[in-house]
Amino acid sequence: MKKDIKILVVDDFSTMRRIIKNLLRDLGFNNVIEADDGKTALPILQQGGVQFLVTDWNMPGMTGIDLVRFVRADPKLASIPILMVTAEAKREQIIAAAQAGVNGYVIKPFTAAVLKEKIDKIFERIGS
Amino acid sequence: MPETDLPQGLDGFEALLHAKANELVSVLAVGDVNSALDIVNDLQNVKHLAFYNEVGYLTRGLHEAIKSFSGDVPSDAREDSIQGMTDASDRLAYVMELTEKTSHETMDRVDKSLALVDKMDVQSGRFADLLSLVGQLESEFEGLRGVYDRTCQLKQESESTVAKLREELTGILVAQSYQDITGQLIRRVITLVTQVEGSLVQLMNMAAKVESISGLHVEGPTENKKQNAKKDPIEAEGPQLAGENNPEVVGNQDDVDDLLSSLGF
């Protein structure tokens, strides 16, 4: 797994963005950029170069699930792996996220080990 | 029926009902049907008025309670930054702001501590170089016998302590996610408070109108009904409480993993 890939973390809470960014840094990923909702994430994604997307669901402006649908519908972005990190915990929501095309789903609050495990798993699958 | 006849509260309504019922029986006993119908009409009116009066009374009570909640912090006890925060939404927004600021301060310190831990790792490397020198000298000086092994063991213990410290610091960092979770819950309460406030104003306006009008049909809050009907089952709701009363909500990450693997993930 290349450690210099560009990762976009989307969450409306600056604390959560910082936590995820620090955990990614622990895993060796230092090229991490941030956005505070789907709307601000879109132009960043469209500029190109983002190779992994970590997004929350419940955000003002544009929600994470809409962002996932948008990314999957855009041929230029569709192949970006997406990890959803959210407090939304209803079965129906998890199924909807899976159907929308997320590659992993982590519910908040999470542990460092769980986040690391899910990220590793996503990259393992992409590699295989 | 003039408004001055209206009894205050439901007790007064009951007393009036008794009086009118007796009156009704007595006029019917003498065959005065016209008067009896008048009394039935009066009762009908008084029922509406009592109801509207009660609604008005409750509305004013609720409004007073909310006003007193806003003003229950004595002004001399307030910090500068709290002054002017006269309503619940502002206070809750302030809680979010404060927890965000404090979480970042905690994480600043965690970052600084992690940098110190990195420094300890570098120092441990330099220590290893010195140790190898001791190892070389050990054979030449009888007094140094065993010092190399004992120091190596201590170095290993120290490195394992540093690794544990790093783990604990990461734990503190991740624990700051409480700010996101509580923030989302507070944001929902702020939305609710704002909606209740808006509805209360409407209710007060309505109560003011109905106090002087009887027989008015009051429509329910149609806007809310529409909202409920249109509710999206997967709409983002923020943190949810799992449990027996909420079987749709998964309890932990293992449940999420089970559900996703059942979907072929």
pLDDT in tens, B190-217: 888 888 777 777 776 776 666 555 444 4
Picking from B143, B175, B207, the residue at the C-terminal end of a domain is B175
Q: Are residues B19 and B96 in the same domain?
A: no
pLDDT of residue B262: 85
Q: Are residues B73 and B132 in the same domain?
A: no
- Side-chain-side CA neighbours of residue B175 (13 Å): 9
Number of CB pairs, chain A paired with chain B, less than 8 A apart: 112
Picking from B175, B206, B232, the residue at the C-terminal end of a domain is B175
Among B5, B4, B30, smallest CA distance to B20 is for: B5
Residue B29 lies in a domain: yes
Instruction: Kindly state whether A90 is in contact with chain B, defined as any CB-CB distance less than 8 angstroms.
Output: yes
Picking from B175, B197, B216, the residue at the C-terminal end of a domain is B175
Tell me if B236 and A96 make a contact (CB, 8 A cut-off).
no
Looking at chain B, the whole-number percentage of residues with pLDDT higher than 70 is 76
Which candidate from A89, A98, A109 shows the least CB-CB separation from B263? A98
Q: Are residues B94 and B146 in the same domain?
A: yes
Number of domains in chain A: 1
Which has the higher per-residue pLDDT, B51 or B93? B93
Q: Domain range holding A110? A: 6-127
Q: Are residues B97 and B148 in the same domain?
A: yes
Q: Which regions in chain A score pLDDT beneath 50?
A: none
Euclidean distance between the first and final Cα of chain A, in Å?
11
Tell me the chain A residues in contact with residue B95 when contact means C-beta distances shorter than 8 Å. none
Q: Are residues B93 and B169 in the same domain?
A: yes
Label residue B106 exposed, middle or buried (CB < 10 Å: 0-12, 13-18, 19+).
middle
- And the tokens for B246? 């909420």
Instruction: Kindly state whether A57 is in contact with chain B, defined as any CB-CB distance less than 8 angstroms.
Output: yes
Residue B47 lies in a domain: yes
Q: Is the pLDDT of residue B265 over 90?
A: no
Residue B255 lies in a domain: no
Residue B262 lies in a domain: no
pLDDT of residue B82: 30
Residue A81 lies in a domain: yes
pLDDT digits (tens, 9 = 90+) for B147-176: 888 889 999 999 999 999 999 999 999 999
Q: Are residues B57 and B98 in the same domain?
A: no
Spatial distance between the Cα atoms of B177 and B175, rounded to a whole number of angstroms: 5
Number of domains in chain B: 2
Residue A1 lies in a domain: no
pLDDT of residue B78: 38
CB B29 within 8 A of CB B177: no
Among A60, A33, A95, smallest CA distance to B264 is for: A95
**Phi/psi class of residue B154: alpha, beta or left (left: φ > 0; alpha: ψ in -120 to 50)?**
alpha
Residue B139 lies in a domain: yes
Q: Domain range holding B161? A: 88-175
pLDDT of residue B131: 87
Enclosing H/E stretch for A52: strand A50-55
* B91 confidence band (pLDDT: 50, 70, 90): confident
Q: Which residues partner with A34 through β-bridges?
A: A9
Residue B167 lies in a domain: yes
Tell me the chain A residues in contact with residue B170 when contact means C-beta distances shorter than 8 Å. 22-23, 26, 112
Q: For the sheet with A82-86, list strands across it.
A: A32-35, A6-10, A50-55, A82-86, A104-107
Tell me the chain A residues in contact with residue B96 when contact means C-beta distances shorter than 8 Å. none
Contacts of B250 by beta carbon, 8 Å cutoff, 6+ apart: A89, A90, A91, A94, A107, B242, B256, B259
pLDDT of residue B68: 62
ipTM beyond cut 0.90:
no
Which has the higher per-residue pLDDT, A36 or B83? A36
Which candidate from B173, B184, B240 shows the least CB-CB separation from A19? B173
pLDDT of residue A94: 97
DSSP symbol at B142: G
Residue B95 lies in a domain: yes
Residue B36 lies in a domain: yes
pLDDT digits (tens, 9 = 90+) for B211-263: 555 444 444 444 444 444 567 878 887 777 677 677 788 878 888 888 888 88
Instruction: Kindly state whether A11 is in contact with chain B, defined as any CB-CB distance less than 8 angstroms.
Output: yes
CB A82 within 8 A of CB A53: yes
Instruction: Kindly state whether A92 is in contact with chain B, defined as any CB-CB distance less than 8 angstroms.
Output: yes
Q: Are residues B104 and B161 in the same domain?
A: yes
